[in-house]
Amino acid sequence: MEEKLLAAKQMLEKYGQEHLLKFYDKLTDEKKNELLNTILTTDFKQMQELYESTKIKPQFDNAKVEPIDHTTKEELSKEELEKYTSIGEEVIKKGKLAVVTMAGGQGTRLGHNGPKGTYDLGLESHKSIFEILCDTIKEASQKYDAIIPWYIMTSDANNKDTIEFFEKNEYFGYPKSAFSFFIQGKLPMIDTNGKILLDEDGMMKQAADGHGGIFEAMRKNGVLYDMKEKGIEWVYIGGVDNVLAKMVDPVLTGLAISQNSLMAGKSLVKANPEEKVGVFCIKDGRPNVIEYTEISKELAEMTDEKGELIYGESHILCNEFNIAALEKISQNKLPYHVAFKKANYLGPEGKVIVPTEPNAFKFEAFIFDAFSTVDKMTILRVKREEEFAPVKNAEGVDSPETARALYKAYHHIN
């Protein structure tokens, strides 16, 4: 280990991060080895660049933003609906569609002790979010007489608990062989001076690298190869926390194929100009999402001749990608966005510090930064009450209470 320790020390000195070894001697041999491995595989140059990026205010004003075309599902004629449905069904029946659920988030707002998918929604059946999602896949699998592979992205922090939960529940009756779990990447958290934080256990403090980390994680974990071997052509990628997510929707796939698109996304009408959601748009000539923090009041309030918001197609993290698009995206790195968060850490005296104010930068990639890889994207506007019941906060809006009510209304449960 001496050689390793020496190499780690040199690396840390070069980047001014020597404090990471301050409590090294107090660690067990196993933990010592783990810390050295983490140090030697960390890209400190990238961390330095990320720190520098925290000092620059993001510039959005230069980008040219235009509205994006969309198709409203409800307004499709009977013939159109039948056509898209049958094209999409063909894909599903031939086993060429897979589902990926992104379940690597921390779920801090919900505050549930465990992975968000294990949360009991409070129905009489006591179904967890994972079981509710599994129901949708099982139902589609029966309807189309096909096994739909289900890939679940976890993070280092929740991978074990997630797999154990599925094991304990016998995969909710869906074939175990249809499941694959893979772990997303992570990045160190840094303080306002660019110093990487030490975690409570003396290791480097790291956090999942955002839902945009999915593409790199799929490549690094061999998920893309696995999909190709299975003959998968279309991949639905969605969050774990929408209990009305229609993860297997032939209309979305069929419409994308008909429009010759390699990517498709579902949208909902933005409730009002102030609603805190990102909206699909065309940015510098390519599909993208403009965040509610980025959009000007003027753009947010613009309406068309029918009085509808021009930038009103909310992005709900229900997207579909052709495998060719996924391969292209996963070859490049997505940009990281910075968030300022509260994070416990081991202070210089070796005591755990629990901050009351945000103290650390966290870096995350966003899935929608990948949209600009293609020159067009199919947008299908669906109905909120049919496809969107998010579980984000412990109480109030987008909470288990609101999601439960929406779920019950949709499924006609009293």
Q: Which residues bind ligand UTP (CB under 6 A)?
A: 102-109, 116, 153, 184, 208, 210-211, 213, 239-241, 317, 392
Q: Which is nearer to ligand UTP, 149 or 213 (CB)?
A: 213
Q: Which is nearer to ligand UTP, 108 or 332 (CB)?
A: 108
From the CB of 335, what's the least distance to ligand UTP, in Å?
Answer: 15
Q: Which is nearer to ligand UTP, 210 or 287 (CB)?
A: 210
Q: Which is nearer to ligand UTP, 89 or 241 (CB)?
A: 241
Structure tokens at 268: 């909902």
The secondary structure of 93-158 as a DSSP string is HTT-EEEEEE-----TTTT-SS-GGG-B---TT--BHHHHHHHHHHHHHHHHTS---EEEEE-TTT
Q: Which is nearer to ligand UTP, 162 or 253 (CB)?
A: 162
Residue least distant from ligand UTP (Cβ): 105
Task: Give φ, ψ of 285 to 5 degrees.
Answer: 85, 0
Q: Which is nearer to ligand UTP, 105 or 265 (CB)?
A: 105
From the CB of 228, what's the least distance to ligand UTP, in Å?
Answer: 23
Using the structure block, give the residue that is written with the tokens 């933005």: 270
Read off the DSSP letter of residue 245. -
Helix (H) or strand (E) holding 81: helix 78-93
What does each C-alpha distance from 90 to 113, 143, 228, 234, 253 come to in angstroms? 41, 12, 18, 12, 10
From the CB of 76, what's the least distance to ligand UTP, in Å?
Answer: 29
d(CA 32, CA 141): 47
From the CB of 115, what's the least distance to ligand UTP, in Å?
Answer: 8
d(CA 367, CA 274): 23
From the CB of 156, what's the least distance to ligand UTP, in Å?
Answer: 11
From the CB of 25, what's the least distance to ligand UTP, in Å?
Answer: 33
